[in-house]
Structure formats: structure tokens, C-alpha cells
Amino acid sequence: KKSTRVTDQIINHLIFKNYIIRQTKNIYLIILICYASSRNGGYTAAAVCEMCFAIVFFCVFMMDLDKQFTAISWVWSDLIRAFTGTLVYLITSLVCVISGAGDGALIAGGVTYNLLLF
């Protein structure tokens, strides 16, 4: 019998489901902190947007909204989010590593993503 209590559903979801979405959210947070602590604050926008998208998809899957709203293909939407996030982070991190001379936090954010990607 499936538990109908909201707290039980949240606990079960946080423990057993969507490990990858939670980990990408944590990675985005680390990169966001590195970009925010750099001298150039413009790179933070990419990290904030991708982290917000990851949180939205995490909440959708956590509350089982993907089963209620079947008009949207949530799997493909999440795949497209991950793909565009990868491209945005790859371009941003390469720019940060190449142009971040003298700014350790900016280089750390770029290198962190490049190490995780490859």
C-alpha cells in the first residue's frame, strides 16, 4: 500500500529517487558559489538559471507532478534541460578558464565544471 502522507512521500523521494537531479543541484550550487565569489559577477547568471531549472524539475519529480501532467513529456524536458545546461556551463567554464587570469575563484568555477564534465 502506498503511503498517502505527504511527509512520507517527501522522505521516500529524498532517500530513494532522483539521485542524479539532487547531485546536479549540488554541483550547480558549488559552481554558483565559485562564480559569485569572483571579481566578475556576470558569469553567475548562468549558474543561477541552471540551478533554478534543476530545482523546478526536482520539485516536479518529488511531488509526482509528472504523473499528473501527462501532456508534457517530463523525461524529454529534463533531458533537454540537462543538455542545454551542459552546453551553457561548458561555454561559460571555458571562457572563465581562458579569461580568468588573476581571479582564482573564477578559474575554480570553470575548472570544477570541466573536471566534472570530462
Q: Which three cell numbers stand for residue 100?
A: 580568468
Please, which residues have CB within 8 angstroms of residue 24's CB and are 6 or more apart in sequence? 54, 82, 85
pLDDT in tens, 19-45: 666 676 777 777 777 777 777 767 777
**Residue whose C-alpha cell reads 513529456 in the numeric block:** 73
pLDDT tens digit string along 71-107? 888 888 888 888 888 888 788 778 877 876 677 777 7
In a domain, 76, yes or no: yes
Domain of residue 34 covers 6-117
Mean pLDDT of 7-18: 64
Q: What confidence score (pLDDT) does residue 76 get?
A: 86
Domain count, the chain: 1
Mean per-residue pLDDT, 43-58: 81
32 found inside a domain: yes
Look at residue 88 and tell me if it is in a domain: yes
Looking at the domain assignment, is residue 59 inside a domain?
Answer: yes
For residue 56, being part of any structural domain is answered with: yes
**Alpha-carbon distance 79 to 73, whole Å?**
10
Distance CA 11, CA 32 (A): 27
Q: Would you state the pLDDT for residue 113? A: 67
Nearest in space to 26 (alpha carbons), one of 57, 51, 58: 51
Is 111 domain-assigned?
yes
Does 1 fall in a domain? no
What is the predicted pLDDT for the residue at 1? 47
| Residue 79, in any domain of the structure | yes
Predicted structure pTM score? 0.60
